[in-house]
Amino acid sequence: MNAPKINWKKILIKNAPFIIAFIVIMIFFRVILLLSIVPSGSMEPTIKGGSVVLFNRLSYIDSKPQRGDVVVFYHKESNKLMVKRVVGTEGDIIDIHDGVVFVNGENELLPGTGATQSNSESFTVPDGHVFLLGDNRDASRDARFWENPYVSVEDIKGEWIE
């Protein structure tokens, strides 16, 4: 008994709208948007732990991250994607004293809760890098604790879409 012959051309033509839609959606999420889960409370109250958030992959094609941006980036030390806020950009001097963050000598005034746990430290952000902290300073493993406290701009994958 012969198996019925499958007419692939007819199947493809019949399902073309679905196939095209699937390809467009895949391109959209691989090139333009990044969907990510913020697993911890390190960005609260700005982003709740467990939230699914979108990031614009095209934000930094022709510009650099700015102080205050919330970004998703690849963290080499932990080998995973993380979400943090840009507190310092290249050339900035970040000083942490008595739980307060100063950027270039002025109180940071970016969203952040809790005292910033750190020994009195000073960080000078090198060219092509940023200094990142979580908004929930009491519950964030961020630049204050990393072996290399600076993240290359090239490792930033996108900017948070509020």
Cα separation of 117 and 110, whole Å?
A: 16
Task: State what percent of residues in the chain have pLDDT above 90.
Answer: 56
Nearest to 46 by CA among 90, 91, 78, 85: 85
Least confident of 50-54, 95-99, 149-153: 95-99
Q: Write down the pLDDT at residue 28.
A: 77
Q: Write down the pLDDT at residue 69.
A: 96
Task: State what percent of residues in the chain have pLDDT above 70.
Answer: 94
Which string of DSSP letters, residue by residue, matches 23-41? HHHHHIIIIIEEEEEE-SS
- Whether residue 59 lies in the annotated active site: no
pLDDT tens per residue, range 23-67: 888 887 777 888 888 989 999 999 999 999 999 999 998 899 999
> The tokens of 103 are what?
């950027």
| pTM over 0.85, yes/no | no
Cα separation of 119 and 6, whole Å?
A: 70
Cα separation of 98 and 59, whole Å?
A: 34
Band of residue 115 on the pLDDT scale cut at 50, 70, 90: low
Catalytic residue, chosen from 42, 59, 118, 140, is 42
Which string of DSSP letters, residue by residue, matches 35-102? EEEE-SSTTTTTS-TTEEEEEETTTTSSS---TT-EEEEEETTTTEEEEEEEEEETT-EEEEETTEEE
pLDDT tens per residue, range 66-76: 999 999 999 99
What would the mean pLDDT of 99-103 be, rounded to a whole number? 88
Cα separation of 44 and 110, whole Å?
A: 13
Q: Write down the pLDDT at residue 134.
A: 93
Dihedral of the CA atoms 28, 31, 32, 33 (nearest 10)? 80
Cα separation of 70 and 57, whole Å?
A: 13
Q: Write down the pLDDT at residue 99.
A: 79
pLDDT tens per residue, range 118-133: 667 899 999 999 999 9
> How many residues appear in the chain?
162
Show the domains of the chain with their CATH numbers: 8-160 (2.10.109.10)
